[in-house]
Structure 1
Amino acid sequence: MEIYLIRHTKPAIAKGTCYGQTDLHLADSFPEEANIIKTKLTGQITSIQVFSSPLLRCSTLAKALFPTVSITEDPRLMELDFGNWEMLAWDDIPKIEITPWMEDFVQVPCPGGESYRQLYDRCVAFITELKKQQIEKAIIITHAGPIRAIHAYFNNIALKDSFSLKVDYGEVIKLGN
């Protein structure tokens, strides 16, 4: 199986804001960023299936990159659910809430949200389904959290260590073949 993981482009949100499953629009730089991604993919991808997080920042990019391809949106590809922290400035999250999560983000869920283990489990369920369907080539347009989780799964990396993978906006990562 050959998979191309693509992170959405820059969202229209103030730096330092906690967002995960909040549905955000993309920054004004979107057309230029999408064109850069297109150049990275040119000539490399044929006979593909395209999957996307249903959040606007991913589905908009998927439609721009693959206007003539049927795109399957799957909620398992959504970013981490930060629950009560969504749209708060990271600096405004009470220390009494964030400290336990920071000490064990793999197992401890965000208040009203989910843990990184829960995100990982849903991403692995998605990949397992692709394998059962014997999909040979897939493009997955998603977020940094799912990209790290899928990368950790394919490369047998401990979840606590998977954040060492830096994933920039618009980054394309190839896994497999």
Structure 2
Amino acid sequence: MDIVLIRHPAVAVEAGVCYGQSDVALADAPEASAAALAVRLATLQVPAPRVLLSSPLTRCASVAAALAANFGCAASIDDSLKEMNFGTWELKRWDGIDRASIDAWAENFEHAREHGGESVEQFVSRVRAWFDVFEQTRELTPAYVVTHAGVMRVIAATVLGVPVERCLKWSIDMSGCVWLRRDDVSQQWSLVRWNA
């Protein structure tokens, strides 16, 4: 069972802006990004997908649709694959958010909701619930999932059995890919590629 997590390409948003669940545009055409991704995945010898799954946000869904057309497979959208909801912090510069609010969030990182959006615990629960269902659906693999860095880190932490906080330190570039594989006999997951 193979799942390839793909972070959306670069967005047309100034660096340092929090955009979580805001529906922001891509910096480049999704078709060009999808073509470049397809070439890179072929070079890495990643198996072609049976299905493409995607966050509904334009920066993911448009690339997933272009990739699905390229591979001749189905694409489906799932709200559970959205990035974390940062509430009132959405589309604000990180350095413009009240320092006391950010400190309070950091002090209670798992449960705090200083921004009024999702807590990290709520976000992790949402993504893990999606993954629990996905993992039971063998006919969906190999699957490509076009999503966000936060979602990718939660899934990786889940299958590799490491704390989410640890995965937050692992970089994922725009258009970066994480390839995970589950052995059908042992049912154990392994990391094939990180940020490829």
TM-score (norm 2): 0.83
- For residues 67-112 of structure 1, what are the alpha-carbon distances to aligned partners after superposition, in whole Å with 9 as ceiling and x for unaligned? 1322110010000100000001111111121111123322222422
Which residue pairs with 1:164 in the alignment? 169
Q: Provide the C-alpha distance between the structure 2 equivalents of 1:101 and 1:6, rounded to a whole number of angstroms.
A: 28
Match of 1:153 in 2: 158
- Residue equivalent to 1:77: 81
| 1:3-152 map, 5 Å | 3-28=3-28, 32-42=32-42, 44-46=46-48, 48-67=50-69, 68-134=72-138, 135-152=140-157
Is this contact kept in 2: 1:38–1:65, CA < 8 A? Answer: yes
Structure 2, unmatched stretches of 5+, are 183-196
Q: CA deviation at 1:31?
A: 5.2
Runs of 5+ unmatched residues, structure 1: none
Question: TM-score, normalising length from structure 1?
Answer: 0.92
Cα distance in 1 between the residues matched to 2:17 and 2:49: 38
What per-residue deviation string (whole Å, max 9, x for no partner) do you get for residues 147-169 of structure 1?
A: 01001001111122121211110
Deviates more, 1:72-81 or 1:156-165: 156-165
Amino acid at match of 1:37: L
Change (3 A) 1:76 1:103: same
Instruction: Note if contact 1:59-1:73 (Cα within 8 Å) is conserved in structure 2.
Output: yes
> How far apart are residue 30 of structure 1 and its match?
5.1
2:2 match: 2
Percent identical across equivalent pairs? Answer: 33
Relative CO higher for 1 or 2, CA cutoff 8 Å, sep ≥ 6?
A: 1
Structure 2 distance, partners of 1:34, 1:102, is 36
